[in-house]
Amino acid sequence: MSTATSFVYLDYAATTPVDREVAATLAALLTEDADFANPSAPHIAGRRAGVHVRRAASRLAALVGCRPDRLVWTSGATESNNLAIVGAARYRSNRGRHLVTMPTEHKAVTDVFRALERQGFDVTWIEPGTDGVLDPADFEAALREDTQLASIMHVNNETGVIQDIDAIGDICRSRDILFHVDAAQSLGKLPIDLDTQPVDLLSASAHKIYGPAGIGLLYIADRPGCHVEALLYGGAQQRGIRPGTLPVHLIAGFGKAAEIAAARMDDDYGHLQRLRDTLWAGIREVAGLYRNGSAVRSFPGILNVSVDDIEGESLLLALEPLCVATGSACNSKDREPSYVLRALGLSDAAAQSAIRFSFGRMTRMADVELAAERYGDAVARLRQIAPVRAA
Ligand SMILES: *Cc1c(COP(=O)(O)O)cnc(C)c1O
């Protein structure tokens, strides 16, 4: 972070700042002198706006290796997950009502499945190992004759654990089960090639890749039996699958962010690895510290650690001006221990002491060096002030 800011932002898994080039792209599409028109309109202004939408679709399609016409614009990954899961479950409900997912998914998946359970669908929640990784054999064992849909995320937003979506997708393909992947944390950061990978539905969001909040996408594979019922009614836009006037500026911003991500993917990844390794080297000696989630199958943009005998809320305060998350940004308001970490077998106390550091393109080495120093100091200070002893 620049010295002009009064905080050090290490919460990129929650959201990222908008890239300046992306912000310029977005701003240039709003006013009277710009291509602001409704792209559904057949007149010249509408057609000009449509060019920006098609260019963005090509960029996103190139990033994930699919045809541009397989992408549906949504308001973000939350909506994409809802559309994919509810839409596919309803579309296939005459064939069967059994669905499969994991307890470690984002709330925008788990809450959707809970709602479907209340509507009479039967959901199997497959537990990961204590490292957060799903064993494909456990996945296969949970499947039934009437299973219609499985939803397994690519990169976990709390731990950074990467699931083997190829192995899981292959199992789904062999049994004609639709496979949905929440890729909000991996789009533009890990290679995705839908032309060759066995994924039927994929959700992503712009604001996790230096694009604007409020725009996301759902990929729908062009395969027999792969379709989603619309959740919204209101027009013929996007073949009726997701009606509503397209936000041309947000879509163009998403497209620009995708183009930059594709060009920078390797550099970004290397940068994240150096940041994560530096931070880990700087804190690993703290007494009673341990890392949450697999250290092997892990995305380097996220490091989640717990520490014995420390309470997470006090730690968060003691860490200021670092902006980090306890467990998950979505869980920080209520004081419930992270359900994701609980599913990895952590005790309530261990889950409550968890801190998620997440970094991005704009994070500097000095930021993680400061974070390591502050973390060690904060733990030492809290242990002195309020020693919590195990009974
Ligand atoms: C951020 C995130 C979401 C929600 O995305 P929005 O675009 O904010 O709705 C869903 N799933 C995962 C894994 C995420 O990280």
| Mean pLDDT confidence for 172-201 | 98
Catalytic residue among 66, 172, 323, 330: 330
Q: How far is the CA of 106 from the centre of ligand 1 (A)?
A: 7
pLDDT digits over 330-352, tens only?
Answer: 545 566 889 999 999 999 999 99
Percent of the chain with pLDDT over 90: 91
Q: How far is the CA of 189 from the centre of ligand 1 (A)?
A: 15
Residue among 293, 295, 375 at smallest CA distance from 341: 293
- Domain end residue (candidates: 259, 281, 300): 259
Report how far residue 271's alpha carbon sits from residue 294's, in angstroms, rounded to the nearest whole number.
Answer: 20
Instruction: Tell me which residue has its CA closest to atom 7 in ligand 1.
Output: 76
Residue 86 shares a structural domain with residue 166: yes
The sign of the CA dihedral 237, 243, 244, 249 is: negative
pLDDT digits over 11-34, tens only?
Answer: 999 999 999 999 999 999 999 999
Q: How far is the CA of 154 from the centre of ligand 1 (A)?
A: 12
Q: Report whether residue 185 contacts ligand 1, using a CB cutoff of 6 Å.
A: yes
| Mean pLDDT confidence for 285-297 | 97
Q: What pLDDT is attached to residue 311? A: 85
Whether the pLDDT of residue 387 is over 80: the answer is no
Instruction: Tell me which residue has its CA closest to atom 9 in ligand 1.
Output: 78
CATH classification of the domain holding 147: 3.40.640.10
Instruction: Tell me which residue has its CA closest to atom 5 in ligand 1.
Output: 77
User: For residue 329, what pLDDT band results from cuts at 50, 70 and 90?
Assistant: very low
Q: Is residue 390 part of a domain?
A: no
| Mean pLDDT confidence for 43-53 | 98
pLDDT digits over 121-155, tens only?
Answer: 999 999 999 999 999 999 999 999 999 999 999 99
Q: Is residue 2 part of a domain?
A: no
β-bridge pairing 147-151 and 122-125: unpaired
- Domain end residue (candidates: 259, 285, 315): 259
Q: Report whether residue 205 contacts ligand 1, using a CB cutoff of 6 Å.
A: yes
Rounded to the nearest 10 degrees, the angle between the axes of helix 365-385 and helix 248-283 is 60
| Mean pLDDT confidence for 300-318 | 92
Percent of the chain with pLDDT over 70: 95
Residue 219 shares a structural domain with residue 84: yes
pTM over 0.85: yes
**61 neighbors 68 (Cβ within 8 angstroms):** yes
Give catalytic status of residue 66 as yes or no: no
What are the residues facing 204 on neighbouring strands? 217
| Token duo for residue 64 | 């994930």
User: For residue 389, what pLDDT band results from cuts at 50, 70 and 90?
Assistant: low
Domain count, the chain: 2
Q: Is residue 3 part of a domain?
A: no
| Residue 298 φ/ψ, nearest 5 degrees | -135, 140
Residue 333 shares a structural domain with residue 218: no
pLDDT digits over 65-82, tens only?
Answer: 999 999 999 999 999 999
Residue 147 shares a structural domain with residue 70: yes
Report how far residue 325's alpha carbon sits from residue 331's, in angstroms, rounded to the nearest whole number.
Answer: 9
Q: Is residue 92 part of a domain?
A: yes
| Residue 216 φ/ψ, nearest 5 degrees | -150, -175
- Domain end residue (candidates: 206, 234, 259): 259
| Mean pLDDT confidence for 247-255 | 98
Q: What pLDDT is attached to residue 312? A: 82
Whether the pLDDT of residue 391 is over 50: the answer is no
Whether the pLDDT of residue 321 is over 50: the answer is yes
Residue among 273, 292, 280, 275 at smallest CA distance from 337: 292
Residue 52 shares a structural domain with residue 169: yes
Residue 159 shares a structural domain with residue 207: yes
Whether the pLDDT of residue 1 is over 70: the answer is no
Residues of the domain holding 287: 8-16+265-385
Q: What pLDDT is attached to residue 3? A: 52
Q: How far is the CA of 120 from the centre of ligand 1 (A)?
A: 26
pLDDT digits over 181-195, tens only?
Answer: 999 999 999 999 999
Which residues have CB under 8 Å from 2's CB, separation 6+?
none
Using the 8-state DSSP alphabet, how is residue 134 labeled? P
Q: How far is the CA of 224 from the centre of ligand 1 (A)?
A: 28
Atom of ligand 1 nearest to the CA of 153: 13
Q: What pLDDT is attached to residue 388? A: 59
Which residue among 152, 163, 208 has the greatest number of ligand 1 atoms within 8 angstroms of its CB, and so is best to mutate? 208
**257 neighbors 57 (Cβ within 8 angstroms):** no
CATH classification of the domain holding 290: 3.90.1150.10
Residue among 189, 151, 263 at smallest CA distance from 16: 189
Residue 239 shares a structural domain with residue 124: yes
Q: Is residue 212 part of a domain?
A: yes
Instruction: Tell me which residue has its CA closest to atom 2 in ligand 1.
Output: 184
pLDDT greater at residue 391 or residue 345: 345
Residue 295 shares a structural domain with residue 250: no
Atom of ligand 1 nearest to the CA of 155: 13
Q: Is residue 1 part of a domain?
A: no
Q: Report whether residue 180 contacts ligand 1, using a CB cutoff of 6 Å.
A: no
| Mean pLDDT confidence for 156-161 | 98
What are the residues facing 73 on neighbouring strands? 217
Q: What pLDDT is attached to residue 313? A: 83
Q: What pLDDT is attached to residue 368? A: 98
Which residue among 106, 162, 186 has the greatest number of ligand 1 atoms within 8 angstroms of its CB, and so is best to mutate? 106
Atom of ligand 1 nearest to the CA of 79: 9
Residue 99 shares a structural domain with residue 248: yes
Residue 236 shares a structural domain with residue 333: no
| Mean pLDDT confidence for 223-241 | 94
Whether the pLDDT of residue 236 is over 90: the answer is no
Residue 203 shares a structural domain with residue 105: yes
**248 neighbors 49 (Cβ within 8 angstroms):** yes
Q: What is the mean pLDDT of the chain?
A: 95
Report how far residue 274's alpha carbon sits from residue 160's, in angstroms, rounded to the nearest whole number.
Answer: 15
Residue 238 shares a structural domain with residue 307: no
Report how far residue 348's alpha carbon sits from residue 258's, in angstroms, rounded to the nearest whole number.
Answer: 39
Q: How far is the CA of 373 from the centre of ligand 1 (A)?
A: 30
